[in-house]
Amino acid sequence: MLLLRNVDTFTPAPAGRTDILIAGERIIRVEPGLRVLDGFCDVVDASGLVAVPGFIDGHVHMMGGGGEGGYATRTPELALSDAIRGGVTTLVGCLGTDGVTRSGEGLLAKARALDDEGLSTFIYTGHYSVPVQTITGSIERDLLLIDKVIGVGEVALSDHRSTQPTFDEFARVAAEARRGGILSGKAGVVNVHMGDGPRGLSLLRRIIAETEIPVTQFLPTHINRNPTLFEEGIAYAKAGGLVDFTTSTVPAFLAQGEVKSSTGLRRMLDAGVNIAHITFTSDGQGSLPDFDAQGQLRRLEIGRVTSLFAEVRDAVQQDGVPFETALQVITSNPARILKLKGKGQIVAGADADLVLLDAATLAITGTIARGRWLMRDGELLVKGTFE
């Protein structure tokens, strides 16, 4: 058992200074002045610290991605220590452009490995292409028979790397994901990779308008990729859609018009978008390719899961977004949208996933996942098997 005393707690709503009692992998009590028997609990004075829910990163290439520049540009697998330092306690793994040398089976194995090392993981089935390449033979079977599969993705649209699915093909993907989600009690969302193409969100908007599939079946990511897509995303979110910002970036992308996630969050809120419709993900270990007008690769960087909270902190410290508001995009919002039971909150009965921050700087000082210290007082206590 672990008792954190006198910690400024955000659930993510502000809860004031409380004690947090953890037993096993669950939060048992969250209230001030808790008393425990001596010798039965590790009691930690957390004065001067802020406790927030463990971060959920809903779009991570945990087994690596990339390859747009040839075999040598395939990106490496996620290191456990990167997630810990970034306060990420729950990850959703996905495949990207490459569904040949990276497979759903391999992604599932990597997810289980990270579970064994102390985190909580889920995955999407498929990758950029349509028809979706599944593990068991269909989207519905993957959702119903594989515990970790919670949806489909990332399916690429408006991108020269997309398989250019037709209206009927993409609608069928969404319909199968919806049925599988309903039958399995999972989210069944379609995680949609949005490229730079001029068609933007048009295919999503058409499916929503011409079928019975609800707008919340889709989670378009990279919505901050360029100014045009960002503005379209504002209108889409105000109409009830979900939008996801990618926090990993490089200066060259920002110079070309990519909207910084922290600033984009402020702008969407100012435009009247409901915070409940917004999430941040890192695109961790994914490639960040820069193509010229002819589609030729000019440079390639790697996404980092540590960018996730960095952008939330910037939203607070640089863009004036209230702390409890910004926190939602990496805690309670993805937990609700992806139906991740027990995640995204500090409440009795929830999973014991917490991040401790320095109250003055909001720097991450501690990470607790499933009730276990992974980093404490800034010291990494756990590393990956081969780190």
Residue 116 catalytic? Answer: no
What distance lies between CA 71 and its chain's CA centroid?
27
User: Out of 283, 319, 351, 353, which one is annotated catalytic?
Assistant: 283
324, with CB counted inside 10 A (0-12, 13-18, 19+), is middle
Is residue 17 within 8 Å of 9, Cβ to Cβ? Answer: yes
Provide the annotated active-site residues. 283
